[in-house]
Amino acid sequence: MLAGSFSQVCDDWEHFLQRKYKPVNPVESFRTYDIAKPSVVKLYKEQHQKQTLDFVIRSRQKFSQLDKAHMGIWEALEMLNELKDESDNDTELSQIEHCLQTAEALKRNAKKERFDDWMILTGLIHDLGKLLYYFGAEGQWDVVGDTFPVGCRFSEKIVYPEFFKSNPDYYNPAYNSLYGIYKANCGLDNVLMSFGHDEYMYMVAEKYLPQEALYIIRYHSFYGQHRENAYTHLMNERDHEMMKLVKTFNSYDLYSKSDAPPDITKLKPYYQTLIRKYFPDKINW
């Protein structure tokens, strides 16, 4: 036990040094999974093993009821304050801080980029689905991390593709061809993604936000597509249009992680007003 935690401290320290002395190129120093924290590797090992088509169908069913809580957006953000995302190699901050960093980065560029205010709001709430962790998820592996389609071949472009070899679907001929259970260009609407905070928050926000915002929330962790373009064969026209927005959003989600921690109390009034414009006081989770 003691030896275990000692080696954990050593691993973390080594990771810290590797990151600290890696040449700082603002873009290249993010998502460097070749020098990942041990918690990140462990997370993806479990995620890739357990996210099967069957699991996704059951999780969607379980969480689409929205019977887990009834609360407001800011309340939800505060609840997320304690959560540290084990899959994230780039931030040690809590999730409320990450959400505010993303929103603030979008706000700073809003005029220049002509972002509507819902884009800023999307930054604020995009990771709120991580509350799943407190609502009966099985661990962090079904809450955080990059997402990918299930029911068809796992792309080699997904982080740690080798871990898919312990997923039973990897060996199922109905699921391991290029299209698997899907048709060419069927649209991501018709594709089942690994279950996690994106899909859950999409369900929670569905009644309240414009389609573009919902699309960003639903696919923001789909790096296999928005970064690697590995699933274009499943996309339709609408996906191509919408995916541009996801790419734009991603640079604010990712690169704001190096900004200074936000002053939560100072920012609260602005965001409460913005939240009120789109959401009622309390919503179903």
Residue with tokens 């995302």: 85
Would strands 283-284 and 70-71 be described as parallel, antiparallel, or unpaired? antiparallel
For residue 139, the minimal CB distance to Fe ion (Å) is 16
Structure token pair of residue 248: 């734009």
What is the Cα 235 distance to its own chain's centre? 20
98 annotated as a binding-site residue: yes
The entry of ligand INS, Fe ion, none that residue 104 binds, CB within 5 to 8 Å by partner kind: none
145 annotated as a binding-site residue: yes
Contact assessment for residue 16 and residue 131, using Cβ atoms and an 8 Å cutoff: no
Q: Which of residues 202-241 bind ligand INS (CB under 6 A)?
A: 220-221, 223
Binding string, 114-143, against Fe ion, x = CB under 5 A?
A: -------------x----------------
- What's the CA gap between 115 and 162, in Å, rounded? 39
Q: By C-beta, is 120 or 216 nearer to ligand INS? A: 216
Contact assessment for residue 159 and residue 87, using Cβ atoms and an 8 Å cutoff: no
The entry of Fe ion, ligand INS, none that residue 144 binds, CB within 5 to 8 Å by partner kind: ligand INS
Contact assessment for residue 195 and residue 55, using Cβ atoms and an 8 Å cutoff: yes
For residue 95, the minimal CB distance to Fe ion (Å) is 8
12 annotated as a binding-site residue: no
User: What DSSP assignment string belongs to 227-252?
Assistant: TT-TTGGG--HHHHHHHHHHHHHHHH
For residue 227, the minimal CB distance to ligand INS (Å) is 10
**Contact call for residue 144 and ligand INS (CB under 6 A):** yes
Stretch that binds ligand INS, among 10-18, 49-57, 112-120, 143-151 (CB under 6 A): 143-151
Taking each continuous run of H as one helix and of E as one strand, the counts in the chain are: 11, 2
**Contact call for residue 253 and Fe ion (CB under 5 A):** yes
**Contact call for residue 256 and ligand INS (CB under 6 A):** no
- What's the CA gap between 47 and 30, in Å, rounded? 21
Contact assessment for residue 140 and residue 127, using Cβ atoms and an 8 Å cutoff: no
E strand or H helix that includes residue 283: strand 283-284
Q: Which of residues 23-42 bind ligand INS (CB under 6 A)?
A: none
Q: Which of residues 63-122 bind ligand INS (CB under 6 A)?
A: 85, 87-88
The entry of Fe ion, ligand INS, none that residue 142 binds, CB within 5 to 8 Å by partner kind: none
Structure token pair of residue 162: 């080798």
233 annotated as a binding-site residue: no
Answer positive or negative: Cα dihedral of 70, 56, 156, 191: negative
For residue 223, the minimal CB distance to ligand INS (Å) is 6
E strand or H helix that includes residue 54: helix 53-63
240 annotated as a binding-site residue: no
Residues making contact with ligand INS (CB under 6 A): 85, 87-88, 127, 144-146, 220-221, 223
Binding-site residues for substrate, in ranges, read: 31, 85-87, 130, 145-146, 220-221
Binding site residues, Fe ion, CB under 5 A:
127, 221, 253
